Amino acid sequence: MPLDILKRLGIRKSAPEAAGPLPVSEELEAQEYDLKLTYRGKTSQGVRMTAGSHALQALPDMLAGLAKTDVEVVAPLDAESQGASPTILRPKEALAWINANHDHHPITRHALMVLESLDAVDSAFETCALTLLAGETDTGGFPAYDAIIGGVVSHWDELTGDMIVRGVVGWGGRGVRGDTDRQATRLLGGLLANVLASSDAVGPTAVERPMPQAGGGGLVCAHCGFSSAHERAFYCPKCGMRMLRG
């Protein structure tokens, strides 16, 4: 029927009724996301070693019979990278950490990330000799979640100038295999036995790691610039040189 005839007859096209609110379902449908990252680590007691020019060079030898890959020795960070940290929530520190460690092997970078995140090592003053101890790597050369990385870590005693060495292991990622903890404990025992078997070993000792001093009161090493040595220190815990006092 033509539109003008409809108008004359008073027939108008009714407007559609406004749609009412949709009923809310009592059960919410949502996609869930979950990512569980687990990192774990263990360290042994410290072993006091007599100071000597070959002390640091002997660190890789303490991993004999346990290392599955080449041992890489990582020196303490320089003064410009003291604040570096593998924490993405602090981009400035994370970028400094990447710049300081990008030349290391993937196994070493992974080991440093795990052990520093756990506070098992402090790259500001400790020297690390790291390797793959158990497990496999992926196509990129990084350890799998159930692989065990670690080695030995050393720093110089602030009072005597002796070197303190301890074993360290770490593992983890997206899941942890049930027997990883037991295997890591066995490997840590092997590391400690190798350290004690060194001809320079004096004996076990308590590990007193230097803590950064808030504000004044600490000493700055004139040789390497390490700035968190305690005011009572006679030797730098980073380079082992005697602290100079004015």
Burial class (CB in 10 A: 0-12, 13-18, 19+), 161: middle
| Measured distance CA(101)–CA(81) in Å, rounded | 10
Domain assignment of residue 182, yes or no: yes
Segment 157-164 mean pLDDT: 87
Domain extent at residue 154: 38-205
57-to-21, 64, 154, 165, 169 alpha-carbon distances in Å: 76, 14, 12, 13, 20
Domain assignment of residue 30, yes or no: no
| Measured distance CA(49)–CA(7) in Å, rounded | 107
Tell whether the model's pLDDT for residue 196 goes beyond 60.
Answer: yes
Higher pLDDT, 88 or 152: 152
Categorize the per-residue pLDDT at 182 as very low, low, confident or very high, splitting at 50, 70 and 90. Answer: very high
* Count of domains forming the chain: 1
CA atoms within 13 A on the CB side of 211: 5
Segment 148-153 mean pLDDT: 96
Domain assignment of residue 159, yes or no: yes
Contact 47, 165 (CB under 8 A): yes
Domain assignment of residue 6, yes or no: no
Domain assignment of residue 238, yes or no: no
Tell whether the model's pLDDT for residue 6 goes beyond 60.
Answer: no
Domain assignment of residue 239, yes or no: no
Domain assignment of residue 228, yes or no: no
Categorize the per-residue pLDDT at 1 as very low, low, confident or very high, splitting at 50, 70 and 90. Answer: low
Domain assignment of residue 201, yes or no: yes
pLDDT given for residue 97 in this prediction: 92
